[in-house]
């Protein structure tokens, strides 16, 4: 498996510094948070995109994915959502990223079947454009569709190779779904896996990998046993938790922990 970290853990850091951290600590790739406050976002011009892609190529670090904030199940008109999805897919193409991350984003006011249908319709409409530009849209296990079972209600309806799943192990665990159950549901659609650690269900402040309660050992063993050979991406949510210890000081130990889990599960 290849290892990456998300720029959510180092908000606003210039791309050259992100790449320096990745190469220094021997990460294979980086998940880029796509937001106006970050150095990479959909507002970048053609030359800026080319420069960013060249920086990644020169460093030998891969762009794992573009982490967008589209909420595909949210109420409202389809076209603004589809337009943002097209923009994210084109940004991913220009940077050489295989994946675009989206959230479900359903609301309490919606019936579950309504949220499912809205998400499936939009993802189905976006799938052809994703295929045209050579990227895959991944629905993260998050918010209204936290479990593998919930995500696959949508993905099974879409039924397109350019739409898949991003397994966030924290959210499936918080929802009470066992890793084996999550994997069984998500395996046909799985793009990559986000790993992290937290103190408890009541305190989701990010912790160093291996120091919290999330079943990372079980997840890695399961993925290895099933012969899955994709990406593990450490999403350290420092952007939302300013009290968290800096990710910069933990990248080396985090990689060592993941490598140890991989070696023990081999």
State which H helix or E strand residue 168 sits in: strand 163-168
**Phi, psi for 87 (deg, rounded to 5):** -60, -40
pLDDT of residue 169: 98
Start-to-end CA distance of the chain, whole Å, equals 11
Q: Provide, rounded to the nearest whole percent, the portion of the chain with pLDDT above 70.
A: 100
Q: With left for phi above 0 and alpha for psi between -120 and 50, is residue 228 left, alpha or beta?
A: beta
The model's pTM: 0.97
Nearest to 127 by CA among 60, 82, 173, 70: 82
Strand partners, 231: 2
**HSE toward the beta carbon, residue 151, CA cutoff 13 A:** 32
Tokens of 177: 């779904």
Domains of the chain: 2-265 (3.20.20.150)
- Please, what is the Cα angle at 70 between 20 and 154, to 5 degrees? 115
What phi and psi, each to the nearest 5 degrees, are found at residue 110? -85, 145
State the average pLDDT over residues 138-149.
98
Q: What is the pLDDT of residue 266?
A: 79
What is the reported pLDDT for 242? Answer: 87
- Residue 53 has what pLDDT? 98
pLDDT at residue number 84 = 98
Are 171 and 199 in contact by the 8 Å Cβ rule? The answer is no
Tokens standing for residue 117: 């249908």
Write out pLDDT tens, residues 27-63: 999 999 999 999 999 999 999 999 999 999 999 999 9
Residues 155 and 122: beta-carbon distance below 8 Å: no
Please, what is the average pLDDT of the chain? 97
Work out the average pLDDT over 120-125. Answer: 98
179-225 tens-digit pLDDT: 999 999 999 999 999 999 999 999 999 999 999 999 999 999 999 99
């Amino acid at each position: 498996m290849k290892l990456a970290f998300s720029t959510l853990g180092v908000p606003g850091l210039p791309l050259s510094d992100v790449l320096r951290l990745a190469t220094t600590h021997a990460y294979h790739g980086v998940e880029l948070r796509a937001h106006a406050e970050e150095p990479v976002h959909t507002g970048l011009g053609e030359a800026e995109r080319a420069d960013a892609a060249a920086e990644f190529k020169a460093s030998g670090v891969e762009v794992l994915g573009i982490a967008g904030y589209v909420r595909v199940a949210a109420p409202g008109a389809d076209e603004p959502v589809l337009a943002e999805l097209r923009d994210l897919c084109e940004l991913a193409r220009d940077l050489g990223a295989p994946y675009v991350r989206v959230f479900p984003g359903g609301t309490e006011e919606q019936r579950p079947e309504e949220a499912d249908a809205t998400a499936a319709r939009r993802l189905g409409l976006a799938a052809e454009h994703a295929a045209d530009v050579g990227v895959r849209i991944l629905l993260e296990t998050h918010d209204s569709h936290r479990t593998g079972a919930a995500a696959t209600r949508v993905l099974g309806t879409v039924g397109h190779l350019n739409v898949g799943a991003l397994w966030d192990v924290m959210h499936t665990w918080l929802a009470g779904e066992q890793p084996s159950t999550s994997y069984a549901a998500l395996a046909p659609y799985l793009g990559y896996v986000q790993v992290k650690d937290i103190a408890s269900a009541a305190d989701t402040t990010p912790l160093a990998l291996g120091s919290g309660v999330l079943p990372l050992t079980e997840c890695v063993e399961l993925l290895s046993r099933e012969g899955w050979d994709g990406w593990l991406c450490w999403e350290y949510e420092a952007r939302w938790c300013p009290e968290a210890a800096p990710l910069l000081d933990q990248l080396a130990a985090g990689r060592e922990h993941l490598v140890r889990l991989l070696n023990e599960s081999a």
